[in-house]
Chain A
Amino acid sequence: MTSILIKNGIVVDPEQNINGEKMDIYIKDGKIVDECKADKVIDANGMTVVAGGIDIHAHIAGPKVNAGRAMRPEDMKHVRMKSGKFRCAMGGVLLTCPSIGYEYARMGYTTAIEPATPTLYAIHTHEELDSIPIIDKAALPLFGNWHLTFKFAAEKDVEKMKSFVAWAIERAKGYGIKVVNPGGVEAWMYGKNVHSLNECIPGFEATPAEVLTTLMKASIELNLPHKVHVHCNNLGVPGSAETTAETIELAKKIGEYCLHITHIQFNSYTGDTWKNMGSGAEELAKLINDNPVTVDMGQVIFGHTTTMTADGPFEFALFKLAKSKWINKDVEIETGGGIVPITYRAKSAVNAVQWATGLEFGLLVDPDKIVISTDFPNGGPFTSYPYIITLLMSKKFREKEIEEKGVNNYIEKATSLLSIETERTFYDIVKMTRTTPARILGLKNKGNLKVGADADVAIYPFNCNDMPDYERILKALENPAYTIKDGEIVVKDGEIVSENWGKTFWVKAKEQSEVIEEELESVFKYYTVSRGNYGVREEWIRRAEAIRV
Chain B
Amino acid sequence: MIKDVVCTFCGNACDDIEFEGDYGRNLCPVGEAKFARKERIKTPMINGKEVSYDEAIEKAAEILKSSKRPLLYGWSSTVNEAIRLGVIIAEKLGGIYDQCSSVCHAPTTLAMIEQGIVGGTLGQAKNRADVVVFWGCNPVEAHPRHPTRYSVMARGFLTRGRSDRRVIVVDVRKTPTAYLATDFYMIKPNSDFAIFTALRSIVNGHEEAVPDRVGGLKKEELIELAKTLESAKYGLVFFGLGVTHTRGHERNVEAVIKLVQDLNKKTRYILQPMRGHFNVVGSGEVPAWEVGFEYAIDFSRGYARFSPGEFTAVEALIRGDCDAAMIVASDPVAHFPKKAVERLKKIPVIQIDPHPNLTTKIADVVIPTAIVGIEAEGTIYRMDGVPLRVKKIKDTNYPTDVEIMEKLLEKIVR
Spell out A's residues near B (CB within 8 Å): 61, 63, 65-66, 69-73, 76-77, 79, 82-84, 87-88, 90-91, 96-98, 120-124, 127-128, 131, 147, 188-191, 316, 319-320, 325-333, 336, 339-340, 525-530, 532-533, 537, 540
The docked-state distance in angstroms from the alpha carbon of A147 to that of B157 is: 11
In the complex, 13 of the A-B residue pairs with CB atoms within 8 angstroms, ordered by the A residue number, are A66-B288, A76-B293, A90-B304, A96-B290, A121-B385, A131-B84, A189-B128, A189-B234, A327-B117, A329-B119, A330-B270, A528-B122, A529-B15
Contact between chains at B150 and A528 (CB < 8 Å):
yes
**What residues of chain A lie closer than 8 Å to B124, measured between beta carbons?**
330, 332
From residue 258 to 302 of chain B, which have CB atoms closer than 8 A to chain A? 261, 264-265, 267-268, 270, 284-286, 288-294, 299, 301-302
- Asked if B248 lies at the interface with its beta carbon under 8 angstroms from chain A, I say no
The docked-state distance in angstroms from the alpha carbon of A193 to that of B112 is: 26
Query: What's the dominant secondary structure at chain A's contact region?
Result: mixed
**What residues of chain B lie closer than 8 Å to A330, measured between beta carbons?**
119-121, 124, 270
Contact between chains at B120 and A83 (CB < 8 Å):
no
- Asked if B224 lies at the interface with its beta carbon under 8 angstroms from chain A, I say no
**What residues of chain A lie closer than 8 Å to B3, measured between beta carbons?**
530, 532
- Asked if B59 lies at the interface with its beta carbon under 8 angstroms from chain A, I say no
**What residues of chain B lie closer than 8 Å to A96, measured between beta carbons?**
289-292
**Which residue in A127, A339, A526 is a CB contact (below 8 Å) of B379?**
A127
Contact between chains at B299 and A83 (CB < 8 Å):
yes
Contact between chains at B115 and A325 (CB < 8 Å):
yes
- Asked if B126 lies at the interface with its beta carbon under 8 angstroms from chain A, I say yes
From residue 86 to 122 of chain B, which have CB atoms closer than 8 A to chain A? 88, 91-92, 94, 109, 112-122
**Which residue in A66, A190, A325 is a CB contact (below 8 Å) of B116?**
A325
9 additional A-B residue pairs with CB within 8 Å, beyond A88-B303, A90-B303, A332-B123: A70-B288, A88-B299, A98-B290, A329-B121, A330-B124, A333-B127, A530-B16, A533-B4, A533-B15
Contact between chains at A530 and B4 (CB < 8 Å):
yes
Which candidate, B67-75, B340-348, B386-394, B397-405, is the interface stretch facing chain A? B386-394
Contact between chains at A190 and B268 (CB < 8 Å):
yes
How many of chain B's residues have a CB under 8 angstroms from any CB in A? 65
Given contacts A73-B306, A90-B291, contact A124 B127 (CB under 8 A): no
Best-surrounded residue of A70, A76, A320, A339 (most CB of chain B within 10 A):
A70
Q: Report how many A-B pairs have Cβ atoms within 8 Å.
A: 175
Contact between chains at B289 and A131 (CB < 8 Å):
yes
Give chain B nearest CB distance to A390 CB in angstroms.
29
Contact between chains at A131 and B4 (CB < 8 Å):
no
The docked-state distance in angstroms from the alpha carbon of A65 to that of B92 is: 25
Q: Which residue of the partner chain B has the closest CB to A121?
A: B387
**What residues of chain A lie closer than 8 Å to B302, measured between beta carbons?**
82-84, 88
Give chain A nearest CB distance to B191 CB in angstroms.
26
- Asked if B185 lies at the interface with its beta carbon under 8 angstroms from chain A, I say no
The docked-state distance in angstroms from the alpha carbon of A143 to that of B115 is: 29
Give chain B nearest CB distance to A224 CB in angstroms.
25
- Asked if B227 lies at the interface with its beta carbon under 8 angstroms from chain A, I say no
Q: Which residue of the partner chain A has the closest CB to B391?
A: A533
**What residues of chain A lie closer than 8 Å to B116, measured between beta carbons?**
71, 319, 325-328, 339-340
**Which residue in B128, B155, B292 is a CB contact (below 8 Å) of A69?**
B292
Contact between chains at A83 and B303 (CB < 8 Å):
yes
Contact between chains at B120 and A528 (CB < 8 Å):
no
Give chain B nearest CB distance to A191 CB in angstroms.
5
**What residues of chain B lie closer than 8 Å to A73, measured between beta carbons?**
113, 292-293, 306
The docked-state distance in angstroms from the alpha carbon of A316 to that of B123 is: 21
- Asked if B34 lies at the interface with its beta carbon under 8 angstroms from chain A, I say no
**Which residue in A79, A121, A131, A331 is a CB contact (below 8 Å) of B290?**
A131
The docked-state distance in angstroms from the alpha carbon of A492 to that of B283 is: 35
**What residues of chain A lie closer than 8 Å to B379, measured between beta carbons?**
123-124, 127, 540
**What residues of chain A lie closer than 8 Å to B234, measured between beta carbons?**
189-190
The docked-state distance in angstroms from the alpha carbon of A147 to that of B265 is: 25
Contact between chains at B88 and A332 (CB < 8 Å):
no
Contact between chains at B118 and A326 (CB < 8 Å):
yes
A-B complex: 8 closest residue pairs judged by Cβ atoms: A76-B292, A330-B120, A332-B123, A325-B116, A123-B387, A532-B4, A82-B302, A90-B292
**What residues of chain B lie closer than 8 Å to A128, measured between beta carbons?**
289
The docked-state distance in angstroms from the alpha carbon of A120 to that of B117 is: 20
- Asked if B78 lies at the interface with its beta carbon under 8 angstroms from chain A, I say no
Give chain A nearest CB distance to B306 CB in angstroms.
5
Contact between chains at A70 and B294 (CB < 8 Å):
yes
Contact between chains at A69 and B288 (CB < 8 Å):
yes
